[in-house]
Amino acid sequence: MTNLKREGKKKYLLTLLIVLLFALAVGYAAFTDALTITGTANARGSFDIEFTSASVVSAVGVDTANTDAVISNDKNTLTVTCKDLGYPGAGAEYQAVITNVGTVPAVVKSVVPTNITGNGNAIVISGLDAITASHPVLQPNGTCTINFTVQWDPNVNTLDTSKAGEGGSTADCSFSLVINYEQSTTAFTGTTNHVDANNTI
């Protein structure tokens, strides 16, 4: 009786195994049929935007020898210094070039000042919001040039002397600029049509 039960179990397991193998074969055939693709899809690429050039365009009423714009070694940060602004209205204009050094088109979303030090109540940074408004798409090797200014606000005559330059008689300012960007997702817009060259019988 025990042998018969064992034989029955073996036959049952063998039948179950055959059914499972058959189901797997049918499923695999359906799966491979559904995934038949011709052509090649390529998702390779690099995604990188950097500061590639920076300079002081002009300056009035500042220590020009120590007023500068320096690109970091990794080219991701621009350190801006405006030294010893001597009076309300004194300031400097800077220019920076941003380049897409990757292979993927990208959108520059903003250029943001961080780590601002100096006389905060008197210093005005202008011009960085222009790039935010336009959101330029940079193709690979494409560039974007921004001009911005750092100025002692002409309407502020009193300095916060705890943050001013030596002796509390001048204003200093330094900060870092970083680029916020994202991949361009411009949709493809193609046209479709059908033309019969000759429909005569």
* Highest mean pLDDT, choosing among 20-24, 159-163, 177-181: 177-181
* Residue 60, in any domain of the structure: yes
Q: What average pLDDT does the segment 125-142 reach?
A: 81
Give the range of the structural domain holding residue 146, as residue numbers without chain letter.
49-183
In the prediction, which pLDDT does 27 show?
61
In the prediction, which pLDDT does 55 show?
96
Confidence of residue 168 (pLDDT cuts 50, 70, 90): very low
Confidence of residue 165 (pLDDT cuts 50, 70, 90): very low
Domain count within the chain: 1
* Residue 30, in any domain of the structure: no
* Residue 80, in any domain of the structure: yes
Is 127's pLDDT higher than 80? Answer: yes
- pLDDT > 90 fraction of the chain, expressed in percent and rounded: 33
* Residue 177, in any domain of the structure: yes
Is 71's pLDDT higher than 50? Answer: yes
Enter the pTM of the model. Answer: 0.67
- For residue 68, report the phi and psi dihedrals to the nearest 5 degrees: -155, 180
* Residue 179, in any domain of the structure: yes
Residues β-bridged to residue 141: none
In the prediction, which pLDDT does 74 show?
94
Comparing CA positions, the residue from 38, 191, 181 lying closest to residue 106 is 181
* Residue 117, in any domain of the structure: yes
* Residue 88, in any domain of the structure: yes
Confidence of residue 68 (pLDDT cuts 50, 70, 90): very high
| Choice between 111 and 120, residue whose per-residue pLDDT is larger | 111
- Give the whole-angstrom CA distance, residue 77 versus residue 127: 17
Q: What angle do CA 132, 135, 138 make, to 5 degrees?
A: 130
* Residue 16, in any domain of the structure: no
Residues contacting 123, CB < 8 A, separation 6+? 82, 85, 116, 150, 151, 152, 153, 171, 173
